[in-house]
Amino acid sequence: MIERRTLTEGAVRWKARIKSGGVIVAQQTFRFKGDAETWERAQMRALQLGTFLPPQQAKVPLGQVIAEFLDARTTQIAPHSQRTDRDNLAALPPQLRARPIGSIGQGDVFEFLTDQLKVKERSTVARTRTSLSALFTHAVREKYIATNPVQGVKLPPGASQKPADEWFTAESLAATLTEQRTFSPHYATITEWTSLTGLRWSETRALRVGDLQAVPFPAVWVRRAQSEGYDEKTPKTRNGERAVPLTDRAREIALGSAAGKRVDGYLFASPTGRQLRATLYRRFTRWSVTAPRKRPHMLRHYCASEWLRAGIPVNQVAEWLGDDPRTVLNVYAHVMGERQTIEALRRLNELASGPSRDPQAIPVNAGQGIGESKERNEKRV
């Protein structure tokens, strides 16, 4: 519906209104009737196709949508993930939060992520991008905007403020363990345990003595996880639990820690018997000194890498880690490529050490035998 209106100063304006179910869902005023008709047709077509978005929705400030998004997430994800989203979105500058959500484009997203890379680690910014994408997915679902501007923006190239983590090697891990044992033999055992089992910190601190298994093979059952400050929950595992096999050394560590404890007691605890805390673990192992440029989580990466180097299939490694096989392929592609290169070199060295391929070493009549044999066979036929 289009109405002609005359303003007090005599100017003419054309007001277009869009109704749905007898209710006005959008309206806009134009100087020219043709513009009003064009806009009306576009909005009516969007209503018919189910792609209509009320113009007023796009004018809602981004900060208001963030508040609604975080509130909705309280019943959708775990408390730890909620805090991650809240912290990541808090990094958005005030001027961006004050803008209408419909005005946020890919350029704004790219600029924000680029600025974040100047002060944060790349892995942290990648998680921020994930939270941002979830926010705009929510905005699309709630009809604030038509498309998610984050989906078309890859994490910008660029160095982080902090240097990249270094992977543990057998040599650097041995050096770390030697140093940590001089400061705290108790907590150094936790370091070694993680490097042998690949358990997440939240999983190790939630283990019970009763989670140990002796038959049909030594293993520990990962049935729960507990991040500090949160309740226990099921671990990040497809079936809610998984069995991680224990090498002789890992089993020795587990049994030593379980000695004298009740079945429902924590398998690993502080020297005073309390549940493990990451801050105390880092402090007593002097982590920044004994493992510079590394995070405790890198022990899990070391374990997974060793399993792959030992020839354990990717699907099996993923099951032990509680990860998706695609994640393992993505994170540890360099390890599998390393294994293939080593195997290729072995084959090339075997080839080089075999009979000489020097053309000068081949007898002059080497090819005559074949032709002569063929000629004799033809005569027999």
Distance of CA 70 to the CA centre of its chain: 20
Stretch 176-191: mean pLDDT:
97
Q: What is the DSSP letter of 59?
A: G
Q: What is the pLDDT of residue 77?
A: 77
DSSP structure string for 161-173 = SSPPPPPP-HHHH
Q: What is the pLDDT of residue 381?
A: 45
Mention every residue, 6+ apart, whose C-beta is less than 8 A from residue 209: 258, 261, 262, 263, 264, 265, 266, 267
Q: What is the pLDDT of residue 51?
A: 65
275, 231 contact by CB (below 8 A): no
Place 245 in a pLDDT band, splitting at 50, 70 and 90.
Answer: very high
43, 35 contact by CB (below 8 A): no
Could you give the percent of the chain with pLDDT greater than 90?
Answer: 48
Q: Is the pLDDT of residue 360 over 70?
A: no
3 state DSSP class of 221: strand
Stretch 182-200: mean pLDDT:
97
Q: What is the pLDDT of residue 50?
A: 67
Packing angle of the helix pair 170-183, 185-197 (nearest 10 deg): 150
Q: What is the pLDDT of residue 304?
A: 93
Q: Is the pLDDT of residue 357 over 60?
A: no
Q: What is the pLDDT of residue 252?
A: 97
C-alpha–C-alpha distance, residues 337 and 216, integer Å: 33
Q: What is the pLDDT of residue 188?
A: 97
Place 150 in a pLDDT band, splitting at 50, 70 and 90.
Answer: very high
Stretch 293-313: mean pLDDT:
92
Q: Is the pLDDT of residue 367 over 50?
A: no
Chain segment 67-79, per-residue pLDDT in tens? 999 998 888 777 8
Chain segment 101-135, per-residue pLDDT in tens? 888 888 899 999 999 988 888 888 899 999 999 99
Report the sign of the C-alpha dihedral through residues 354, 357, 361, 364, in that order: positive
Of 274-283, 324-333, 359-368, where does the model show the most confidence?
274-283
Q: What is the pLDDT of residue 221?
A: 97
Q: What is the pLDDT of residue 370?
A: 44
Centre a 10 Å sphere on the Cβ of residue 175 and count the other Cβ atoms it contains: 14
192, 177 contact by CB (below 8 A): yes
